[in-house]
Structure 1
Amino acid sequence: MRNDEVLVKVEGVSKKFCKSLKRSLWYGAGDISRSVLGLKNPEKLRKDEFWAVKDVSFEVRRGECLGLIGHNGAGKSTLLKMLNGLIRPDEGRIEMKGKVGALIELGAGFNPVLTGRENVYNNGAVLGFSKAEIDRKFDEIVAFAEMEEFIDTPVQNYSSGMKVRLGFAVASQMEPDVLIIDEVLAVGDLGFKIKCFNEIYRLIENAAVILVSHSMPQVAQVCRTGLVLKQGKINFGPGKVSNAIINYFGIFENNGLNIEGNRRGEIRNFKFGNNDTSVELDISKNQNQPEIILENCQNVFFETSVIIEPSVENFSLIISITDIDQKVVAQVTPPERMFTNLTKMMVVEAKVNSLMLNTGNYSISVHIYNKSNAVDRGEILIGIRNILKFTVKKQKFVGAAPILYESRWKEC
C-alpha cells in the first residue's frame, strides 16, 4: 500500500440538470433510448438545461485531505454524489480505488423503517463488507456513535444529530480507503464534532478524504489542499488550502464599505503601517483598497481622522483585527478616559509596540462609540468593517495560532 497512491481521479467531469420536471423526464427517456441504441447524447444544452458541474478535474492521494469549498449552489453536493456513484456524470471520467465511505446527506443510505442495527448491516453490505466483518466492527460502530440505548429503534424516530452520529460511525469505522464527508457534520453537537475530526485525522494516514464545509477554520485545520467551485466550475485549485480559502472569501468581496451605526460620526481617512511601510485610505473617495504587507510587526500605528456631530460630547474608538474567517483575533482598546469632541476634524492615533501576529491575511475594523465602560460600550456612532486589509509575512512558519507571544527561554 503506497502512501502516494492516487485513490480518487476525476477527469473533465460535468453534470447537467433541467429546471423543468416535465422536460427533464422527456429528455431522460430520450437519453436512455439513445444509450440503448449506442448513440451519443446531445452535447449542447437543451431548453431549460444548465450545467450544475462543468469540466472539473482533480486527484486525491492516500494520506491527503481535499477541502471542497464554495457558496451554496456551487455544485459541491452534485460532485460528491457523482463521486459516490449516486448519479452518473454526463461527461468525463471518475476513478475510485478501494472501499468508499460517504456521509453526503442527512440520513442518506438509511431506510427509515428499519432499526439502526439493520441499517448498519445494510450500509456495511453496500460498502462491500461481509456479515462476519460487520459483526466484528458492530460494537465499535455503536460505541463510537454512542447509540447503545437506541440501536434497535427505527431510524425514523432518530433526531438529526443521532442520524449524523450513526452515519459517520458506519462511514469511518469500516476503515474506508476513500472517505467523503459533506457539511452534515454541522448538525452534530460540539463534543461529537471534536470526536469526528479526531477520527478524520486518524483516517487520513491511510485513506483519501474529501471534506465539504462552510467552516473555513475546520477546512484549514484538516485539509492540505483546497478546491473552490463557483457556478459549477473550478474557481481555484486544486492548490494550497490557505490560498483556496482566500479565493473563497474573494468571491463574496465587493468594493463597497460595510458601514454601520447611527451615522452621527464620520471617518474621513485611515492610515496604518510601521516605520518600514504604511498606507493611507481616503474613505470619502471609496477607492479600491491598497495592499500592504508587513514583514515587521514592530512599532505599528493606526491613525483615524474623524468628525463627530456637535451633540456628542465624548467618544471612544476601538480598532479590531480579524482573520480571514472574520473572527476577531486582537483589539486595540482605547484609554480609560474618553476623547473630547472638538466638533471639527480630529486625528486619533494608536501605537502598538508589537502586533504579535502570525503569518496570514488580516482585516482592520474601526468603531466609534459615544461612551465606554466595562459593561456597555455604548451607542455606535460610526463603524466600518474591513476598512483595510493587510498581510503579515514572517520569515519562517512557527505554528498555526494567529497570535505569537515573544518570550525568553532558558534551560533549568
Structure 2
Amino acid sequence: MMLDLPKCDVQSQSDNKEVLIRVENVSKKFCRSLKKSLWYGIKDIGSELTGRKYEHELRPDEFWSVKDVSFELRRGECLGLIGRNGAGKTTLLKMLNGLIKPDRGSIEINGKVGGLIALGAGFNPILTGRENIYVNGSILGLSKAAIDAKLEEIIEFAELEEFIDAPVQTYSSGMTVRLGFAVAVVLIEPDVLLLDEVLAVGDMGFVLKCFRKIDLLIPKCAVIFVSHSMPQVSRIATDIALLEKGKPVYQGKNVSEGIDLYYSKFDVIPSFYVGELVQIISILINGQPSLDTTDTILVERLADIEIQITLKVSPQFKHPEPFLVFYDAEQRGIAEYIYEEKLPLENINGNVSFKILIPKVIFSKGLYSITVGLSESKDGPILMRAQSAAYFQVKAEKNLWTAFQLHGESTQVI
C-alpha cells in the first residue's frame, strides 16, 4: 500500500536529514470480545459523525495494543523494531501504512510508503503473479507503460520466471514473500519502507539478496525493520525500539543495549534429553550454578570462562568422553569443545566431574546455550546429550551480527 504524500527534493545534501516519519504519542486499542468490539465500533462511528469528543479510555474487555509510542526517523536511518510476540509491532506498522487508524496521537509520513507487513497482503490469490503486479501498480497510480518498464526487473528479483503466470494461491510462502518484496522495493521505489518479518521464510540466497537491496535503499529512504532475528536487526539497524505489551521500554541509537534488554526478557528454560545411564548433578559457569535457575550468568567478552560439570554415570563406563556444543540465541551451532586431554576421565564410584577452562571468549555479545554430551569412549556411542543444559550471556561494548568478534593487533604500514 502507498500513501502518496508530497515528496521532498532528495537531491540536496540537507535532505539526508529530512524527517520522513514522525510519530507522536500514538496508541491503539482492541477488544477481546467480538460482540463488544462491534458495539464499541458503532458507538465510535456515531461519536465521530456527531462531532462528540471521545477520550478513547479503555472500556470493558479492551486493552492497549500500542500505547504512547513516539519517534522520528530520517532519510538514511533504519529503525529495528523488536519485542516478543504480541508486543504491538505489527499493529504499529499497520498504523504507519494507513491500514488501521490510531485511537490517539498523530502520524506524519512524507513520501511514498512501501510496506510488506502480512504474508500475501495485497495479492489476489486467484490472479497470477503477473496480473497481481499490474493490479498493485494500478492501485498505486502507475501507468501500464511504467509497470511494463519495471516488470522484468520485478520478476527477475523475485526469481519467479517459471511461475509468474501461475495463480498466487499455488505459490509457497517463500515465493509469495519474494513477489511482495520485489513489488515493494522495485515497483514503488519507496521513501519509507516497512518490513515485518519478511526475511523469516526466505531461503539464504534470497535473504542475502534482500539485504543487498536494503543496503542500497537505506541512504535514499527510511526503513522500519521488524524481526525476531537479532543478528539481522544488528546487521542493518541504526536505531532500535523495544516494545513490551504495546509500550516502548527502550528507544535509542545504542542497538546493542536494546538487544541485550530484549534477550533479558526471556526465561532461561533448559531443554533436556538425558540418557538413562547418565544424570547431570551440577553445572557451574565461573563458579555460579546454572541448573534450576532462570538467572542468566554474565560473561565479559575476552574474559575466561570456566565450566565445571558433575555427572552421575553408570559404573560400567570407566572412561567416558565429554563434549560441549555452543549455540547462539537463534539456536545456530557456533562452536564445539571436544575433550582431548592425555589423561582420560575416571569414573569414581559412579561420579564423573571435570572442569573446562576456555580462555578469552571471542563470541560476539548475546545469549548462548551449552549442550552437554557424553560418549562411552572416544568415537564411541553417545550415552547422553542434554540440549541447552546451561545458558550464559556475553557482554561487550559493540554488537555485531556475526558469531565471532575477533581480537587482534593492527599496525599502520607506511
Q: TM-score, normalised by structure 1?
A: 0.84
Contact persistence 1:246–1:324 (CA under 8 A): no
CA 1:398/1:410 → structure 2, altered by over 3 Å: closer, same or farther? Answer: farther
Query: What do the CA deviations read for 1:342-401 (whole angstroms, capped 9, x no partner)?
Result: 12765423344x446155245462624142444x660217666334444356xx899955
Following TM superposition, by how much is the alpha carbon of 1:88 offset from its aligned partner in structure 2, in angstroms?
Answer: 0.5
Which residue number corresponds to residue 75 of structure 1? 88
User: How do 1:160-179 residues align onto structure 2 when only pairs under 5 Å count?
Assistant: 160-173=173-186, 174-179=188-193
Which residue number corresponds to residue 288 of structure 2? 281
Which residue number corresponds to residue 249 of structure 2? 235
Secondary structure of the residue that 2:372 maps to in structure 1? strand
Which residue number corresponds to residue 18 of structure 1? 31
Contact persistence 1:314–1:370 (CA under 8 A): no
Inter-partner Cα distance in structure 2 for 1:17 and 1:398: 37
CA 1:76/1:28 → structure 2, altered by over 3 Å: closer, same or farther? Answer: same
Contact persistence 1:338–1:372 (CA under 8 A): no
Amino acid at match of 1:339: L
Following TM superposition, by how much is the alpha carbon of 1:82 offset from its aligned partner in structure 2, in angstroms?
Answer: 0.8
| Residue of 130, 133, 140 corresponding to 1:120 | 133
Following TM superposition, by how much is the alpha carbon of 1:224 offset from its aligned partner in structure 2, in angstroms?
Answer: 2.3
CA 1:115/1:367 → structure 2, altered by over 3 Å: closer, same or farther? Answer: closer
User: How do 1:28-47 residues align onto structure 2 when only pairs under 5 Å count?
Assistant: 28-47=41-60
Inter-partner Cα distance in structure 2 for 1:104 and 1:202: 20
Which residue number corresponds to residue 347 of structure 2? 341
Give aligned pairs, total.
398
Following TM superposition, by how much is the alpha carbon of 1:244 offset from its aligned partner in structure 2, in angstroms?
Answer: 2.2
CA 1:125/1:372 → structure 2, altered by over 3 Å: closer, same or farther? Answer: farther
User: How do 1:305-384 residues align onto structure 2 when only pairs under 5 Å count?
Assistant: 305-335=310-340, 338-343=344-349, 347-352=353-358, 354-355=359-360, 357=362, 359-361=364-366, 363=368, 365=370, 367-374=372-379, 378-380=382-384
CA 1:159/1:111 → structure 2, altered by over 3 Å: closer, same or farther? Answer: same
Which residue number corresponds to residue 63 of structure 2? 50
Inter-partner Cα distance in structure 2 for 1:382 and 1:308: 14
CA 1:334/1:176 → structure 2, altered by over 3 Å: closer, same or farther? Answer: same
CA 1:194/1:389 → structure 2, altered by over 3 Å: closer, same or farther? Answer: closer
Amino acid at match of 1:170: V
User: Bigger CA drift: 40-49 or 100-109?
Assistant: 40-49
Inter-partner Cα distance in structure 2 for 1:321 and 1:370: 17
Which residue number corresponds to residue 212 of structure 2? 198
User: How do 1:142-181 residues align onto structure 2 when only pairs under 5 Å count?
Assistant: 142-173=155-186, 174-181=188-195
| Percent of residue pairs identical | 44
Which residue number corresponds to residue 293 of structure 1? 300
Amino acid at match of 1:330: A
Following TM superposition, by how much is the alpha carbon of 1:316 offset from its aligned partner in structure 2, in angstroms?
Answer: 2.4
Q: CA RMSD in A?
A: 3.3
Inter-partner Cα distance in structure 2 for 1:146 and 1:282: 51
Contact persistence 2:22–2:107 (CA under 8 A): yes
Inter-partner Cα distance in structure 1 for 2:107 and 2:294: 46
Amino acid at match of 1:172: V
CA 1:306/1:149 → structure 2, altered by over 3 Å: closer, same or farther? Answer: closer
Inter-partner Cα distance in structure 2 for 1:40 and 1:237: 32
Inter-partner Cα distance in structure 1 for 2:63 and 2:206: 38
Secondary structure of the residue that 1:214 maps to in structure 2? coil
Contact persistence 2:21–2:110 (CA under 8 A): yes
User: Bigger CA drift: 184-193 or 359-368?
Assistant: 359-368
Secondary structure of the residue that 1:252 maps to in structure 2? coil
Secondary structure of the residue that 2:267 maps to in structure 1? coil
Inter-partner Cα distance in structure 1 for 2:165 and 2:350: 73
Inter-partner Cα distance in structure 2 for 1:87 and 1:77: 11
| Residue of 79, 99, 104 corresponding to 2:112 | 99
Structure 1, unaligned stretches of length 5 or more?
Answer: 273-279
Following TM superposition, by how much is the alpha carbon of 1:291 offset from its aligned partner in structure 2, in angstroms?
Answer: 3.6
Following TM superposition, by how much is the alpha carbon of 1:287 offset from its aligned partner in structure 2, in angstroms?
Answer: 8.8
Structure 2, unaligned stretches of length 5 or more?
Answer: 1-9
Q: TM-score, normalised by structure 2?
A: 0.83
CA 1:286/1:198 → structure 2, altered by over 3 Å: closer, same or farther? Answer: closer
Amino acid at match of 1:327: R
Inter-partner Cα distance in structure 1 for 2:229 and 2:285: 32
CA 1:243/1:409 → structure 2, altered by over 3 Å: closer, same or farther? Answer: closer
Structure 1 stretches (4+) deviating beyond 6 angstroms?
Answer: 396-399, 407-411
